[in-house]
Structure 1
Amino acid sequence: MTEIATPEEWDNLSRPVPEWFQNSPFGIFIHWGAYSVPAWAEPIGALGTIDDHEWFKHNPYAEWYYNTIRIDGSPAQQHHKEEFGGEDYDAFLDQWKAEQFDPADWVDLFKFAGADYVVPTTKHHDGIALWDAPGTGERNTVRRGPGKDLIGEIARAVEDKGLKLGLYYSGGLDWHVRPFPPHTTSESVHDTSRPKDAGYAEYAYNHVVDLVDKYRPHVLWNDIEWPDAGKHFGAHGLGTLFEHFYSAVPDGVVNDRWGATHQDYGTSEYEAARENESGSEWENCRGIGFSFGYNQVEGPEQSLTGRQLARHLTDVVSRGGHFLLNVGPRADGTIPDIQRQALTGLGHWMADAKQYLVGARPLEGAPVTDQGDSWVRWVDRGTEVVAFVDSLGDGAEAALTLDTGTFDVAQASVEGPGGTVEAAADGLKVTLSPDRPGPAIVRIPRA
């Protein structure tokens, strides 16, 4: 057995983060799978705000349906019995037809929303591959269900529209190839009930190498962990996989969910793993609602609007991060109206705002942000700073207190339809437009 690599060996993979990623504030995640057929979960709240016992038994992630229906006494298990007679999960693969799948339409929407990169799931924890993955036999979307290489079609559409392709892969879990009892704790997910053996490490390695060779993604987005027996630089080792990826895609990046090995950037998810947001490069991911996979139970009350997405994106960028926003298509391939409207609303704001987010960095010593009903986030663009100003209530005005010796407040301006700005005794007064698509974009030159 090849020994696990040392920290020094992993450190040898470290290199500067490519400029394209540094200048890509916004990406689109896509969770689409056999779980999109039942499309059911309890929308109880955001990851990181609910304790383990409650979370797993009432899991709001529709893509975790296969796990949740196996937890005795869970509402999902009862729903599965009532709606589907308790049938085998794999029946959903055959019922998943993707008959209205139009990847060009998807990517048009993503590009309008201002996205820089797109990350579809290639294999989630249920083990069903969205391409003809080696070793999966008939259990993939080319052989069953949609009858298509869904990843190949998405990849071509992304390339055609000039965006970067990333690929999600669940290296940490595969409930089909390595079945375990259902997860009911975070410990079981990340340690006690995940596959760690060399056989599964080789299986996952062959998948990811195939993805790299076929589609040349710029992001490898692994989830949960990587089998411990594969954390080496030998045959079918994770170190060898990273070397192969960087050789094939020299400006590619990998996330941090490979265990204690190597990463180009950290990740947080909803409110979980926020400690990873302190690194030099990090990315927050979340859905428009509380689920990644499409959840028919979710409505407007669980979903962010375009204006709320604009605030979330701005908040992330103002703190030095990237934002990966998930879209969960229906089984037929259509994007639900709530999600489409949110992305369209965000796009109307991004038409003016994106140029001020690209390459922006956190403003050191930024003035106070939220004041009363006012919501303010700051970014540094070298010769100027930009304040993104919104109201959390009905207020139409916001005051920005600034050092008038440091900033040329007389030359401040608002870009786009967000409102107007004028100099005040101790800074600026921003009058917000009632029909603004997102925060007002206030440019303030340095004196």
Structure 2
Amino acid sequence: MAMQPWFTQAKLGIFVHWGVYAVDGVAESWSFYAGELSREEYLAQLDRFTAANYDPDAWADLFTRAGARYAVLTTKHHDGVALWDTDATDLSVVKRSPAGRDLVGPYADALRRRGLHVGLYFAHNDWSHPDYPTVRPAHLHRPWVDNRFAMPAPGAEDPAAFERYLAHVHRGQLRELLDRYHPDLLWFDGSWERDEQQWRMGELAASIREHSPDILLNGRMMGHGDYLTPELGVPINPPDMPWELCYTLGDYWGHRPDDVNVKSVRELVRVFAETIGGGGNLLLNVGPRQDGTFVDEHVQRLEGLGEWIARNAEAVYPTGAGLPYGHHYGPSTLSADRSTLYLFCFDTPREFVELRGLYNKVRDIRVLGTGEHLGHRVVGGFPSRNVPGVVRIDAPVTGDPYATVLALDLEGELALYRGHGEG
């Protein structure tokens, strides 16, 4: 299928890791998988998961203020606990927790009321269902996955049980999400414990697209997804296909009281600019408390990022990837018609800002957020050998506290010199 244009122009999505793990502030699913506590102790958190102050309209308003165009909610993590009333198992917050209601439908409705696209996270694996840990892949590329929550001991395989899991739990729950909530995007995780043939990923992707032709599937589909999902670090060499960086506000995904290293607005602006400068989206994660509310500091950070995006919206959407490294000391983006170049300056510009290898003449230079117009001159170059000089842009009088953006209106579409110079 063709990439949906809304996705490549969304630029910012909000990832929401919400589940029973927020009750005691433990690692989502991994805490019992790694033996930090028993699965019984982990699932006992269900008794205290209330969603008492869950306000999906307030969530959607916050995401809008942050500048996001879509969000992704963890409908079921590796622990197998569903946030909706699934018919496939009894392990849901609807049946087993004081929350006692569907949490996915109100989220989807609230996003759509604000024009945001609906993403649903779904774990392929399920460390709580007895039919899941019943087969082993042909090759264990990651030895740590040889865990009894994930697969049986050698010689104890039960392929028929895994087929039941695929048909009634995995496929069954996905059909429920598609039929009930009509997501724009499915964000998969947890495929690494089986091989492609065991999951029958090609067949799964085809059936999802037949059901929902306009849906997007993330890259954790063993070659059958629509875009890549690097995690926690901006790629040095951005992929040459659509991509999305999933990134945390603090150190963890789900809510944890000890998660005190919350990134500053300046850090978030930097990683956001680097991501969109490389042609990607930022999927920025926030973990609500068990009652459905966000930590005040997280709200402030999202709002701060959104205020910067609003001041510099022209450089954010609709734009594409900017200059390759080496032309400007910082990220950049390019307008849809490729005639306006946006330079991001993380440090306060002093005296001048340099741009190298630009063939185009520059008609005008503006500072986004203030409207100040800047002078410039071209220094050096070797015109007879078709080597352009360096564009030196006067530093603005007033910059942005987080990142100053300069808009260069060019004559014609961007044209760059990529040679080694002439002697």
TM-score exceeds 0.5: yes
Q: Report the AA paired with residue 205 of structure 1.
A: R
Identity of aligned residues (%): 30
Matches for 1:209-228 after TM superposition, within 5 Å:
209-225=175-191, 228=194
Q: Offset at 1:200? A: 2.5
Q: Offset at 1:173? A: 4.2
CA distance in 2, matches of 1:268, 1:315: 14
Change over 3 Å in CA distance of 1:336–1:427 after alignment to 2:
same
Change over 3 Å in CA distance of 1:411–1:271 after alignment to 2:
closer
Mind listing any 5+ residue stretches in structure 2 that lack a counterpart?
135-139, 152-158, 379-390, 412-423
Q: Offset at 1:307? A: 2.6
Change over 3 Å in CA distance of 1:378–1:275 after alignment to 2:
closer
1:384 paired residue among 334, 340, 351: 340
Q: Who is 1:12 aligned against?
A: none
Change over 3 Å in CA distance of 1:389–1:214 after alignment to 2:
same
Question: After superposition, what is the alpha-carbon deviation per residue over 1:346-383, rounded to whole angstroms, capped at 9, x for unaligned?
Answer: 1111113234222422234454443xxxxx21112201
Q: Who is 2:395 aligned against?
A: 430
Q: Report the AA paired with residue 186 of structure 2.
A: L
Change over 3 Å in CA distance of 1:335–1:263 after alignment to 2:
same
TM-score for both structures, normalised by structure 1: 0.76
CA distance in 1, matches of 2:117, 2:66: 15
Mind listing any 5+ residue stretches in structure 1 that lack a counterpart?
1-14, 41-60, 72-76, 81-85, 371-375
Worse-matched range after superposition: 185-194 or 348-357: 185-194
Q: Who is 1:255 aligned against?
A: 218
Q: Offset at 1:431? A: 3.5
**Partner SS, residue 320 of structure 1:** coil
CA distance in 1, matches of 2:401, 2:19: 32
Question: After superposition, what is the alpha-carbon deviation per residue over 1:391-428, rounded to whole angstroms, capped at 9, x for unaligned?
Answer: 2xxx5537322359734446100111598744256421
Alpha carbons 2:145, 2:193 under 8 Å: kept: no
Q: Report the AA paired with residue 312 of structure 2.
A: A
Q: Offset at 1:323? A: 1.0
Q: CA-atom RMSD, angstroms?
A: 3.0
1:414 paired residue among 359, 362, 367: 367
Q: Who is 1:130 aligned against?
A: 83
Residue 98 in 1 paired to residue 51 in 2? yes
Residue 187 in 1 paired to residue 142 in 2? yes
CA distance in 1, matches of 2:119, 2:95: 24
**Partner SS, residue 229 of structure 2:** strand
Matches for 1:12-411 after TM superposition, within 5 Å:
15-40=1-26, 61-62=27-28, 64-68=30-34, 70-71=35-36, 77=37, 88-137=41-90, 139-145=91-97, 146-177=99-130, 178=132, 187-188=142-143, 194=150, 197-202=162-167, 203-225=169-191, 228=194, 231=197, 238-259=201-222, 261-271=223-233, 274=235, 277-299=238-260, 302-365=261-324, 367-370=326-329, 376-381=330-335, 382-391=338-347, 395=348, 397=350, 399-402=352-355, 406-409=359-362, 411=364
Change over 3 Å in CA distance of 1:251–1:189 after alignment to 2:
farther
**Partner SS, residue 109 of structure 1:** helix
Alpha carbons 1:63, 1:292 under 8 Å: kept: no
Alpha carbons 1:124, 1:174 under 8 Å: kept: no
Q: State the structure with more CA Rg.
A: 2
Q: Who is 2:407 aligned against?
A: 443
CA distance in 2, matches of 1:200, 1:275: 39
CA distance in 1, matches of 2:217, 2:146: 21
CA distance in 2, matches of 1:255, 1:231: 19
Q: How many residue pairs were aligned?
A: 379
TM-score for both structures, normalised by structure 2: 0.80
Q: Offset at 1:136? A: 1.4
Question: After superposition, what is the alpha-carbon deviation per residue over 1:310-333, rounded to whole angstroms, capped at 9, x for unaligned?
Answer: 211110111121111111000111
- List, as ranges, runs of 4+ consecutive aligned residues in structure 1 with deviation greater than 6 Å: none
